[in-house]
Structure 1
């Protein structure tokens, strides 16, 4: 392959990476943003108030909402639309990376905690049920963000703006892993804590919960049918969420492990362009972690019913006030007419 052909192929890879980010990334962002907002509204309903599991999922959705507007949105604007609001703002790069990591790992921890909570509820051991209570969930939710805000401090110092030749010769904000400390941090934080570990734990506890539900029914007989349905459907939601998270997270973690293992190897420009394209694919796939709303919607009729209630309340909030006022005015007019006739 001569230099001309190599340059053309290089441009094609770069152009494809840009278009994927622009169109697929924008579509995914819109779906994830809408779904996350609907998750928050649905888990705020009275049906889910008394459950630690739904409380975990509610706070995880709140974290997802913050993360979507910190990391994916800036990624789309910079790589897809050539708009970078972080030019010459090194402190903003570090702060954004730090908060984006804290929110995403907190969300994963809360979702994993929800899976563990459902396992406790499916156990025959009554002492396990204590850890699935709402007040335990509230205490845990207060601890988790503080823990990750402290543990995530190294991300702030390792994140920086560095030159990337395949993003239209612009600087990008990331952890380049140039030093052994930052290399180790990226390996542990991105590949393990934010990649392999959460879906692995969720799959294990999802399997254990599924086994308990089918083999141990004593705890279900003591509860009403409604409570049983809610708990079973929450379990189904989390099992499907674990499968989806595994599919979404593992490729991104594998690519980061490959990139870290070859970071000091000499690479041609064409190979780096291919790696950049694969990175964009795996990163967009990782975004599907934030499409949990679709999983919940398909796996639980109770969740669908609560979601419809949220939509109706929202509709009435924006459009029902005037109708109610008109209805009240008509009723008042009819009452006045009746009184007038009686007086006559």
Structure 2
């Protein structure tokens, strides 16, 4: 069983490496080169210190992708490891990779500090924001990182493994390994840049809000606004792409998590996925994201959702579990969410085919079905974690509420509530001809419903309320699970409660990190001062596109999360896949009784 899980994760990892890695590499290199061309083609940008930092960052990001990601694609995706065939490349890759990563993080820190000073009310602070100081600082820090990286050239070497007899490219100095792990990577490349950008990002944002009250030339004011918004959006994106990898990296360095081969394979898979989040940050074109990432998410999500439904309905233990029932309903509506929301978005943004403009029925139906599915999905995850809190409680009267009858009643009740609540979408969504462009568009025609949709439906019911409920009851359920070993509960029941609780808790954590960015960007997009400038508006739309796909990834992810964290779910997946459906398609075999002939 463990070997089948490890091989499954290895196979999935290889496909992710080839397809997602290749897309990220191509999009990132093209995007980086276009950044350089744009920043160098306009005199205003050439004379701006913040734009200079972003230009240098684009250059080293391209270097980061070519030395780090390209090598990973070739080794993990196609089994061609250049570090094993060339001692020079073994040393050069680690050296160049770390110099580029450190320089990139330094540039984003310098850029936000520069914008904080540039938007400051103090004249002496604004004097530090000039191209000469910027060039001096960049040269200084590049020299620091070049010198700091020299040990990579010395201590990285090709070593023959004593266990496997194969050549590998590794760090041969134990002290330098510790420095690389905790000093260079965690401190210089993750924690320190995140802390600096967070603090100065807030300060710069506060300064930008005060710009309108100062006597600053209009051109200068607008340039500072645009550069600050560009950098702030990049910082937010960097935060949500680097934090998951940092957490997984810390876990992977903890010995107790890497001794079990199955758990080690799961951590390696999580490390692979979060690594590509970091590379996506370095790559960071909207249409390509829509087509490739959207189609991948849609296919993976629908297949995963269908497999969830089959597995939860194939095992009697799951069919009789109220928590599993909530997860089954959630899988059904998640498929509906992907088919009504994501599929339509792919066709519109990716291929220019908008079904809401050609069909009045679809204009109304999409908004109605999309919102109902989203609300039911969030309701189910809330009910599931509350159910597990009650199921793992020490009070018998609370545990009595965890049964399939109560679960069915609650689901029917909430489904009816959301169906009735969504009726105004069928009434007020309509095809309207815009006076400014003369084109048909599908929009909400009622101002009251528009305000309710933004602040009531999306922010409260779909985001803030579910996040609060799942956070509180998640902590309570986690505390209950830790106490299960001290209670007289049947072993089978205890293990089922543990696994269901872990499945739901991991899904909640993933929901948190995929929904929070969209919520923040959505609030920003509803603020008029950020959407009046067409450049800033375009940047917010791009950030909205990326964070929207994070939300869709959440709706597509439950099956893959369950496979990674639940042994019971994996066993049932293998049983359903191989024991039931595979054997069903095999031709029937006739048992032949051989009789010894009589002599």
TM-score by length of 2: 0.45
User: What is aligned with 1:244?
Assistant: 237
* Residue pairs, 1:255-270, within 5 angstroms: 255-262=248-255, 267-270=259-262
CA offsets 1:135-157 (integer angstroms, 9 cap, x no match): 11111122111011112223334
Equivalent residues of 1:190, 1:256 under 8 A apart = no
CA offsets 1:239-278 (integer angstroms, 9 cap, x no match): 111111111111112222222232x776132222112111
Once the 2 structures are TM-superposed, how far is the Cα of residue 25 of structure 1 from its aligned partner? 1.0
- Kindly indicate whether residue 246 of structure 2 is the aligned counterpart of residue 253 of structure 1: yes
User: Distance in 1 between the 2:278 and 2:166 partners?
Assistant: 24
Question: Aligned match of 2:228 in 222, 231, 235?
Answer: 235
- Kindly indicate whether residue 277 of structure 2 is the aligned counterpart of residue 277 of structure 1: no
User: Distance in 2 between the 1:284 and 1:271 partners?
Assistant: 20
CA offsets 1:54-111 (integer angstroms, 9 cap, x no match): 0111011111111211111010111011222232433421221011100111011012
Give the match's secondary structure for 1:87. helix
- Kindly indicate whether residue 234 of structure 2 is the aligned counterpart of residue 212 of structure 1: no
Equivalent residues of 2:190, 2:242 under 8 A apart = yes
TM-score by length of 1: 0.77
Change over 3 Å in CA distance of 1:158–1:279 after alignment to 2: farther
* Residue pairs, 1:119-130, within 5 angstroms: 119-130=116-127
Larger-Rg structure: 2
Root mean square deviation, CA, Å: 2.8
User: What is aligned with 2:479?
Assistant: none
Deviates more, 1:78-87 or 1:116-125: 78-87
* Residue pairs, 1:113-124, within 5 angstroms: 113-124=110-121
User: Distance in 2 between the 1:179 and 1:133 partners?
Assistant: 43
CA offsets 1:259-315 (integer angstroms, 9 cap, x no match): 2232x77613222211211110111011122134769xx99845999xxxxxxxxxx
User: Distance in 2 between the 1:227 and 1:197 partners?
Assistant: 30
User: Distance in 1 between the 2:258 and 2:75 partners?
Assistant: 27
Q: Tell me which stretches of 4 or more aligned residues in structure 1 moved more than 6 Å.
A: none
User: What is aligned with 2:76?
Assistant: 79
Change over 3 Å in CA distance of 1:287–1:169 after alignment to 2: farther
User: Distance in 2 between the 1:293 and 1:8 partners?
Assistant: 38
Question: Aligned match of 1:189 in 181, 184, 187?
Answer: 184
Number of equivalences: 292
User: Distance in 2 between the 1:146 and 1:50 partners?
Assistant: 23
User: Distance in 1 between the 2:35 and 2:113 partners?
Assistant: 20
Unaligned runs of 5+ in 2: 290-524, 539-599
Give the match's secondary structure for 1:86. helix
Question: Aligned match of 1:10 in 1, 6, 15?
Answer: 6
* Residue pairs, 1:301-312, within 5 angstroms: 301-302=534-535
Give the match's secondary structure for 2:128. helix
Question: Aligned match of 1:290 in 282, 285, 288?
Answer: 282
Change over 3 Å in CA distance of 1:181–1:65 after alignment to 2: closer
Change over 3 Å in CA distance of 1:68–1:266 after alignment to 2: closer
User: Distance in 2 between the 1:248 and 1:173 partners?
Assistant: 27
* Residue pairs, 1:1-344, within 5 angstroms: 5-45=1-41, 46-161=43-158, 173-175=169-171, 179-215=174-210, 217-219=212-214, 221-223=215-217, 225-262=218-255, 267-292=259-284, 301-302=534-535
User: Distance in 1 between the 2:258 and 2:58 partners?
Assistant: 41
User: Distance in 2 between the 1:127 and 1:204 partners?
Assistant: 21
Change over 3 Å in CA distance of 1:38–1:303 after alignment to 2: farther
Of structures 1 and 2, the one with the larger relative CO (CA 8 A, separation 6+) is 1
Change over 3 Å in CA distance of 1:75–1:251 after alignment to 2: same
Once the 2 structures are TM-superposed, how far is the Cα of residue 120 of structure 1 from its aligned partner? 0.2
User: Distance in 2 between the 1:76 and 1:132 partners?
Assistant: 40
Change over 3 Å in CA distance of 1:86–1:182 after alignment to 2: closer
Change over 3 Å in CA distance of 1:282–1:207 after alignment to 2: same
